[in-house]
Structure 1
Amino acid sequence: MFMRILDRFEEILISVLMAAAVILIFFTVVHRFSIGFAADIVSYARANDMPELQAWARSAFRSINSIKLTWAQEACIYLFVWMAKFGAAYGVRVGIHVGVDMLVIRLDPKWRRIVTIIAMSGGILFTAILVWIGSTFVYHVGVGGQISADLEIPMWLVYLAVPLGSALMCFRFIQALWTYVTTGVIVHHDHGHVDGVEEEAAAQTAPQTGGQK
């Protein structure tokens, strides 16, 4: 039950962060385009002696320009930082991280098992060190009272992604190692697999199979 909740939370968090960043980038681009477009209309109306259009364009320009999105770039960076850290943990869980295994697959099963365990243990050790260093760094940043330039939020909240994401990634490495030790299975993602395709194909062939019976 706990693992199901954790898996779902991980997926929802990454999706929300990604959606928020994309939406924010979209509105920022539209905002910049709208300001430039309104300025062009003002210039066109002035050049062609169209006072009504010029007045409307000036009003639109002032209204759009009053919306300040100087903080958007900083917010997007922080959203992508959090998404990357938790996305890395998700990658360990589903086995989508890039790995070079040309040498490993040529080893005898005994040595292949030893090398795999050492590699996964290295991942556990590395992410555990990141948790320790990241936690120490977050503590010192919090004590220093540093805030971000545009959003003016405490920077320790931003850097908190490092220890939290690394802790989850460390847990996923432990989970993968335990699965391999107990079952001999390495979590692996098939890059040729497309979600929903197999289910759709099964749904299409199910009535045919039933009719043949």
Structure 2
Amino acid sequence: MLEAAIRVADRGGVEAITMRRVAQELGVEAMSLYHHVPNKDAILDGVVDMVFAAIELPRAGCDDWREAIRARAFSARAVLSRHSWALGLMDSRRNPGPATLRHHDAVLGVLREAGFTLPMAAHAISLIDSYISGFVLEESSLPVTAPGDMEEVAGGILARLPADELPYLTEMIVEHALRPEYDHASEFDYGLDLILDALEARREQSPGTVT
């Protein structure tokens, strides 16, 4: 049932998840779903837990906290890119499931074992998750979905751009966005590394850090 609800949301967004549409996806009557779940909220709780379950957990006892958090961030981005409708749903549930709880505990565990104080660990998770969510949301809105799209979109903007009036934007398009090696996905790597660098610096400066 939850897999069916996710398929419905992948096609129509979270608003599309209704008892009737999930039942249609399964080829059954809507009333039959009530034998398995009490209401729509239970389905929403369940699909959020499935999304969390799909994200790679950072390895416990990993010697390199950065690599553990980095791998988790890349996995979260990949999963949420497939299910971007979940972005506004994941932090809204009052009854987190077992996969959700395990996920949060594992991420906290990596940071705490690396010597982050509890407040710093909380700040780090909030910062990293906000970055992942924001990047996925931005990506889902971009008019670029295939390798050749960037040249078409950026080239079209450039053709209408008054270069004399907007020289820096023109430079960005010509010297950066339209270069053959440019890949917008690399922006995620760059931003994530900046965040991890800053967190590492704060971790080392913290008087409560365990070394």
Q: Which has the larger radius of gyration?
A: 1
The TM-score, its normalising length taken from structure 2, stands at 0.24
Structure with the bigger percentage of helix: 1
Higher relative contact order (CA 8 A, sep 6+): 1
The TM-score, its normalising length taken from structure 1, stands at 0.24
